[in-house]
Structure 1
Amino acid sequence: MESRKDQHVRLFEKTYQTHQTNDFDSVRFVHNSLPELSLSKVDSLTTLPFGTWSSPFFINGMTGGSEKTKKINESLAHAAAATGIAIASGSQKAALKDPALHDTFRVLRQVNPNGFIFANIGAELDEEAAKQAIDMLDANGLQVHLNASQEVVMPEGDRDFSSWLKNLERIAHSIDLPVVVKEVGFGMSRATFRRLIDAGVQIIDVAGKGGTNFITIENQRRDRARFDYLQDWGQSTVISMLEAQPYLDQATFFASGGVRHPLDALKGLALGARAIGVSGIFLHTALSSGSEGLITLIEEWKQQMNEIMLLLGCASLDELRRTDLILSGTPDQWARLRGPKPEEMATRSQRIS
């Protein structure tokens, strides 16, 4: 397990692409030549079922479980503490099996004593494991990740997913903290949203295709019977948020996966997400420039998000969610087959009061 965690980080850096394209490029705002707004009036705070965050993006779950990844978590936690944004742990399964690894995750709380921290487990674990993971970090909330695609390609991965939905239902009803059910980079569909909501899940992170690809990473760990043909598996974050449109008033959605810069984050928020999870670029920055480099980047994101909102004439995220969005490429094709109609997205400011 320890070796696998380090392999994941090494293969992430090997496959990380600074200028990769994804479906966020197929979503465009309509330029507003008369914003009629001052930057001092722009506020990007986001209201969530459990409170308010001053910034609508957070450091999403990534790593832990080895001495090398402990240092990474320390760097990420230092940046979260310095900038006041939330942070999620990587999967704590290894530490639940081996108490000697607890400190590789506890460092998140030790370095960031007052911050908002999500614990993290997989859906194969039950509510007792969830409580142990939360206690390990004195966490403010819990992420439960869905990684069937990764497990299938992982050489030593699980092949039995039959208990997942029942575990999620029990966790949702027994944990008295915010519970976020998230993918690990392959997106979600309407059918998945319906089943999660019926099970009592109130917060969903669509975590779509477009960023770190765990099929690619696990495939490189295989000696034979490779799954190269599955590297384009899943739905993008943009498509997942289009799938979420009928359910925006029934659950709170987070968007993550392939978020490269503040403009991508604002597109995710405009599509209805209440918060944006960021992993790849933050991990790459922490590895290459340390916590101080990541702090600088996060502060730049905060400033630039407000400045782009100013350009759009939006003083709040509620106003951002009423802006017109132009779809092209695969998202446009997907929406024409499954909705919402691209024409409605392009003219929604005329109908939303």
Structure 2
Amino acid sequence: MIVDGKHLKSVWLEGNTVRMINQSLLPHRFEIFESHDHQRTTRAVLNYVVRGAGAVAAAAAYAVAQAVIEAPEKEFDAYVETAISELLGITTSYMVVHAVERVALKVKKAGSVEKAKLAARKEAEAVADEDANACARIGELGAELVGDGYRVFTHGSSGWLASTDWGTSLSPVYTAKRQGKNVFVWVGEGRPALYGARLVAWELKEEAIPFSLVTDTSTGYFMARGDIDVVIVGCERITRSGDVVARIGTYEKAVLAKAHKIPFYVAAPLAAVDWEAAGPKAIEAEERGEEEILWIQGRDEVNALHNVTTAPDGTHARNPVFDVTPAKYVSGIITEKGILKPDKLKNHLPGADT
């Protein structure tokens, strides 16, 4: 990510300290959050200092490594197991759970405490590096879908901040720009957390890519006018049958895109594929608290931040986080291995002959 002219990752490890861009403060203030122990890193995940499947997976992997490095030798196993349980207790994200289990398995097989410390750090770095490399490759392949002068619509927030580096849905846009193409981005605001308005808009501004922020309910309007050439979104998880779990509102964008004959692509590393889940009903719905809907944060004319409510006292709300887009609405899935039709994902099942 380019910030003030400098390239930064969203999360990285320096020594035993995890550093990350504090997404909870954006776009009003830019700050690097520093965590010197696994408990602080775990709280950062819980409090959305870091967000996005790839970025949180890297942060969680680093948190396990920190716990292993911190653990006293006499209570090593119990200390590490507690740290892992805490992480798994605050998230159900498929990529995050997989990242934590990867590091935990390397620690279990290490054979000694000292070897475990080295193995944990190495595996955590591998989780982050693989995510960054996959997202860079997604950008290279996905840029083929972005022609010069294209107007790209994106929903949710799966840009640079949501991954260790490059991002997923916006990686093709960033790569296309570096190839000299003129690209414009329509950014859905992303209610209720306003990730589009807060995070995607901030990224695109830093990258000097022209964009317009639009309400979530205006997508059909712009599609009907012929103002959108392609839709590219990220996701939380993909079933082996090609159904996509993504930020709430993605499903309706896919239906609208199909109705207007606009290509609808999902950008994600193969690490996001849950090979044990098949069909749109295989994923359990997740809901968060109603506070995200009933309250909103913004700054006033003197740059002071305020939380304000937008509904009458006593109002209750439902807050589903993700929806499931059936594979039939997906034109293709942009992965590090190629742009795949949903029904071809099975060819990349770990161990499959591709």
The answer, yes or no, to whether TM exceeds 0.5 is no
- Using CA pairs below 8 Å that are at least 6 residues apart, which structure has the higher relative contact order? 1
**Is the helix fraction higher in 1 or 2?**
1
TM norm structure 1? 0.28
**Is the strand fraction higher in 1 or 2?**
2
TM norm structure 2? 0.28
